[in-house]
Amino acid sequence: MPHSAFTFDDLQRYAPSVAEPDDFDEFWRATLTEAAAVPVLVDVRPEPTDLRLLDSWDVTFAGFGGDPVRAWYTRPAGVREPLPALVEYAGYGRGRGLPHERLTWPVAGYAHLLMDNRGQAGQHGAGDTPDPHGAPGGPSPATWGILDPRTYHYRRLITDAVRAVEAVRALPGVEGDRVSVVGNSQGGGLALAVAGLVDDLSAVLTTAPFLCDMRRAVALTDLAPYGEIARYLAVHREAEEAVWRTLSYVDAVSFARRATAPAQFGVGQRDTVCPPRTAFAAYNHYGAANGRPVPPERQMHVYPFNGHEGGEAVHVRRQLCWLDSVLQTVRASVM
């Protein structure tokens, strides 16, 4: 059945068993422990933007392997008190761009950190963080180092994403106990990964997430990024077992199962880039294995006539309203 043939009822019931290696937790525990041995902030300097209502800083923090990762930190100008923070992750083939490109969250009153994607800029947006780690694999980020989970590009990128949360908490003007993550497509997959690795987030906002139910996704679509993995396997037929093993360490469904923070999802039901059933795999498993007696709040918005673009500005408005309500609850619980 093609993914577009799945009804909404089918999607609500879709909770596949996703392969998960026995050492999944230890793999990520060791990876993050190694990263944490390096102080997180490397450099923070003011960035002129000619925007009178916002202040921006050019931030460099230590990501995977201590590698310098760039980010923009932006917050409302003239506001002295600490603010709740949002860490945003960019989509596939994009970078952090220019500091005035993504202003929704700081204009809404948040301290906002936009993380660059190591090595990916140039396809759909600008960035300036290299990925200096070479390993056997294909020509695109989705296949860099794909033969071994230790060398895979997404081990490094997910580690960067966790370190971005640590970085924003170390920056001035941030309420460290009210930090949330947000992302679309690849950024949505990174947000889910962080949700499973950082147990004290305030909220998770993910739309059209990549990295979910990956073996199924590769079978469903020929479009990038999943299609790049299929094209790699079309040439390297002997690599299939190694590739599936590597992907099992970065599948966002496994991270979602461990998540503890409230989450809001958004999908376009006609998405052919990140098929909607794969997002529902993460949604339906969300918080199922976090060891807590009460599962976290979660909600899903489906746009039946939209593709990878999802709900666009309509959904952003829903994100703004939902996050505000969640953070009010967080504030009340700590007062």
78, 82, 88, 94: CA torsion to nearest 10: 40
Q: Binding site for substrate, residues?
A: 92
Q: Across residues 82-108, what is the average pLDDT?
A: 97
Position 1 scores a pLDDT of 40
* R_g of the chain computed on alpha carbons: 19
Burial class of residue 58 in the structure, from the number of CB atoms within 10 Å of its CB (0-12 exposed, 13-18 middle, 19+ buried): middle
Position 67 scores a pLDDT of 98
103's enclosing H/E stretch is: none
Tell me whether residue 177 is in a domain. yes
219 closest CA partner among 277, 159, 158: 277
Tell me whether residue 2 is in a domain. no
| Residue 2 reports pLDDT greater than 60 | no
Indicate the pLDDT class of residue 331, thresholds 50, 70 and 90.
low
Lowest-confidence region among 5-9, 95-99, 228-232: 5-9
Q: Across residues 223-232, what is the average pLDDT?
A: 98
Tell me whether residue 316 is in a domain. yes
Catalytic-labelled residue, pool 56, 140, 180, 185? 185
Domain count, the chain: 1
Tell me whether residue 307 is in a domain. yes
Q: What is the CATH number of the domain that holds 244?
A: 3.40.50.1820
Catalytic-labelled residue, pool 3, 112, 153, 308? 308
Contact (CB, 8 A) for 191 and 204: yes
Tell me the whole-structure pTM to 2 decimals. Answer: 0.96
Tell me whether residue 293 is in a domain. yes
Catalytic-labelled residue, pool 140, 271, 285, 315? 271
Tell me whether residue 149 is in a domain. yes
Question: Known catalytic residue: 308?
Answer: yes
Tell me whether residue 1 is in a domain. no
> What domain range includes position 142?
8-334
| Residue 100 reports pLDDT greater than 80 | yes
Question: Known catalytic residue: 180?
Answer: no
Query: Mean pLDDT, the chain, as a whole number?
Result: 95
Compute the distance between CA of residue 58 and CA of residue 120 in angstroms, rounded to an integer. Answer: 19
Indicate the pLDDT class of residue 335, thresholds 50, 70 and 90.
low
pLDDT over 90 percentage in the chain: 91
pLDDT digits (tens, 9 = 90+) for 170-216: 999 999 999 999 999 999 999 999 999 999 999 999 999 999 999 99
Compute the distance between CA of residue 252 and CA of residue 236 in angstroms, rounded to an integer. Answer: 25
Position 43 scores a pLDDT of 98
Question: Known catalytic residue: 67?
Answer: no
189 closest CA partner among 120, 130, 274: 274
Tell me whether residue 3 is in a domain. no
